[in-house]
Structure 1
Amino acid sequence: MSLIDLPLVELTNPDPTFPTLFLLRLNNGAENRFTLEFVHQITAALDFVESKLAELSDDDSKRGGALITTSTGKFYSNGLAIEAAMEQGEKFYKPYLAMLAQLLTFPLPTIAAINGHAFAGGCMFALAHDYRVMRADRGWMAMNEVDIGIPLSPGMAAIVKCKINSPNILRECALAGHRFKSSDAVAAGFVDRAVAEDQLMSTAVEYAKAYAIKGKNGGKILRMIKQEVYRETVIILLAGGIYPGAYLAKL
């Protein structure tokens, strides 16, 4: 049963013996495309988890916690609902980029259990997590904007650059729109493990429990560390600029 009443996401505790382990299941249709309402509901779920951290007993607070996200079926997320996003402009992009910033600096360790394809905005959502586990037998991660004719906003480019550090891999990802299967993504360094479908959730839980202690005491220190490690990316994400190359007008 979901801990919060939201139709497009399901937030549960998959292990009753570990009350600060949270599972956020994306549930916006078969493709989990990001709409404004979907973004608002994910943000509401993240806010809910943060509110629960403030209410923990001393014992639970010392234990830490973690957040896993996943979905079901063919897609983890197929990116933005493009037509709606383009029509809404900043009304859509500001909340979407703010959600990525919140996830990037979340006070608990975060693990993306990537059950299927993670394209474009879905790839960025996965990259905003601390750890990524991917099905070995199905699914690609790709930034395919170059192929569908959509430019990257400054925040979108920043989230990719902060997690893909090799210039050659970044080139293949952002400029060539390469589709990385799980083994390629692991070799490239931006996915941690590739596992069989029936091991996906257990592996994500393994990561969650292994790193949960890093989010002790409500994750206050972990959040501050993330805020500084990803400082430049967070500044760009929250700046609100959505126009690629706008800085060139100031030169």
Structure 2
Amino acid sequence: MTTLFTLPIPSTNGTITCTNPSPTNNLIYCLTFTSPPDNRLTPTFIDAFLLALDILEHRYPKGVLITTSGIPKFYSNGLDLELAQSTEGFVEKWLWKIFRRLLTYPMPTISLLNGHAFAGGLMLAMYHDYRIQNPHKGFLCINELEFGVPLQAPMMSIFREKLTPSVFRSVVLEARRFPGPEALKVGIVDGLGGMEETLGFVEQRKLVKMPETGIYGMMKEEMYRHSLGILDGHEGNVEWRGRVEEGKKRLEEVARREVERWERSRNKL
């Protein structure tokens, strides 16, 4: 395995390392992120990730990109919620930016899920083109429902695009935890295994050839136009949510008055 470059993640003394994991094909690249304790999606993590994507695109021949974790237990445990909420513009300046970059990246992307991918970690994986999951350990889960944090539009849209409605419902409204075999059965992931199986997946689908004509990124832009528009429409998404909340308040006031009227009429009986 040849190391191409390593980038620091200063806030955690972590790294993102780019290697050629294939002994026979130097057009397969792997970004391994090791940001203790669990690869949280922080500004410094995302900045390093974005730089790694830029270096690969502009300094190396197009091929296939695999991302995985150097921390055996976790692919990524999602956002550092306290940091995300205290960092001005976090979602539009960092989170939406990495989602958009992956969604439109001009070569095939595969998320190799070696361990747990919770919340934003699973969203990150879904913004890749393919997912391969460890069949023996680790769960995929969107657990925001359990701690009371609503998902914003770009967090929802990628699941709507890539999953069936019933699986989308289980992921978002049940916070179900999916081990590898179940995730494969319902279509969240495309295969099971580790690096060997991922390299076999690349070979079987001839993915290295896909970016050769130079339109791979453009094809993804058209394919995922809906999600791309949502990622690029942050202000409109915020305004829409504001209008919905105002409408809910008005409806709730009407509903309370109706309940009070019913209670008064019942008390007269």
TM-score (ref. length: structure 1): 0.87
Aligned to 1:248: 244
Tell whether 2:5 aligns with 1:3.
Answer: yes
Aligned to 2:226: 232
Residues 72-101 of structure 1: per-residue CA shift (max 9 Å, x gap): 310000000110001114234432111111
The 5-angstrom pairing of residues 71-82 of structure 1 reads 71=69, 72-82=71-81
Out of 30, 35, 38, the residue aligned to residue 23 of structure 1 is 30
How big is the shift at 1:46?
0.7
RMSD: 2.0
Aligned to 2:257: none
Partner SS for 1:6: strand
1: CA distance between counterparts of 2:202 and 2:149? 34
Is there any run of 5+ residues in structure 2 with no aligned partner, and where? 10-14, 248-269
Aligned to 2:208: 212
The amino acid of 2:244's aligned partner reads L
| Structure (1 or 2) with the larger CA radius of gyration | 2
Structure 2 contact 7–52 (Cα < 8 Å) conserved: no
Out of 184, 187, 191, the residue aligned to residue 186 of structure 1 is 184
Partner SS for 1:118: strand
Task: Provide the aligned length of Structure 1 versus Structure 2.
Answer: 235
2: CA distance between counterparts of 1:15 and 1:169? 34
2: CA distance between counterparts of 1:135 and 1:115? 5
1: CA distance between counterparts of 2:5 and 2:243? 43
The 5-angstrom pairing of residues 114-133 of structure 1 reads 114-133=113-132
2: CA distance between counterparts of 1:24 and 1:161? 27
1: CA distance between counterparts of 2:96 and 2:137? 28
The amino acid of 1:240's aligned partner reads H
Identity of aligned residues (%): 33
How big is the shift at 1:250?
8.9
Is there any run of 5+ residues in structure 1 with no aligned partner, and where? 57-63
